[in-house]
Structure 1
Amino acid sequence: MKKLCILLILFLATTTTKVQAQEQEIQQLLLNIGKLAQFKQILKDLKKGYEIIYKGYTTIKGISEGNFKLHQVFLDGLWQVSPEVKKYKRVKDIINYQFLLVKEYKLAYNRFRKDDNFTPEEINYLGSVYEQLFKQSLTHLDELTVVVTANKLRMSDEERLGAIDQIFSHMQDKLLFLREFNKSTTLLAIQRAHQRNNNQTLENLYGIAQ
């Protein structure tokens, strides 16, 4: 009887140990399943976050590339010259001013070179003034050509019109200066001729040399 009790006790102890072990395994399995579910959720969240980031990056990349293409189209357009710019009234005025400048300086220079009231040194000075004006007028024409020629400068129509206005102003200043210069030189020649005539009259009438 005593042995039977001992065997029963050992059986119960063994059974209890196995049950406890099984319970621990079940708990560990449940724990692992929970961790696996959490891990899957983490992976799912990471995937979702990546998709959001990728979508955002793709959108930004598309926008930036689109903006660059639009910007490139805009810049390429600045190489072109619109008909409105080419037909701008000031373009014709600039060319006409250059024509008048050359015409008027040549007429004046030829007249002054034949005038005895100027010395050779003074004639050379007049020639240098006219030469500088002529060279500057050619520079303005070159500038105008660049502004109204396609594929020369990247400028908007407004900028091209502003540049043409500035060239017109410079050319107008040159022509006004030339006319004032010719006028002053002509007055000087008249004054000298008048003085020479007076001196000659005094010498003829009274024998007085001035």
Structure 2
Amino acid sequence: MKKTLIIMSLLLCVSLVPQKANAQIAILEIIKAGIKKVIRAVDLKIQREQNKVIWLQDAQKTLENTLSKLKLDEISDWTQKQKDLYGKYFDELKKVKYVIAYYQRVKDITAKQVALVKAYDRAWAMVSSDKHFSPQEVQYMGSVYSGILSETVKNIDQMLLVVNSFKTQMADAKRIELIDKAANKVDENYSDLQIFTRQNAMLSLQRSKGEAEIALVKQMYGLQ
């Protein structure tokens, strides 16, 4: 009877691993879809703002060429009138250049998040197939990776909040605060994932026997 219970318990532990793997894959696909959504939104916004910059720069160049050609700089009254007339274009040009800088930073943060998901994908594939880990250990590792992935979902929400902030009259200081917060969180999650994966790699290396096995583990985890 005891033997039967032990066998059933072992089978249950082993059965949890593929279920955990399926859950990881499902979470990963959700996160990838969210990141792609943010990337598309940012790319579209950047393209629109860049087109606006090109148009405004052309307008500025045309005005400056006209002033130079007609040599009307000496007529201060006329020049001031033109500056007042086209002042809104120059103000808009300055504004959209700032917006592009914001969007570019959002895009850089999103790229880091893409790298995080790819790093997770590789790490989970390695530890889940590593024969040096027991099913219980793989299950634990999966729960830790799941926790990191859950945090990346919050990061996606934060990035979407930043993207949508450009549709509202949000102060630049507040927008910068949102961007900095998102950037710091992504860096923190990425660092946590790398540290945890390296710890797993070192544990696998310690359990390796023979030079051939050690070399294989180093190659698998990219250890020097």
Q: TM-score, normalised by structure 2?
A: 0.47
Indicate the structure (1 or 2) with the bigger Cα radius of gyration.
1
Q: TM-score, normalised by structure 1?
A: 0.50
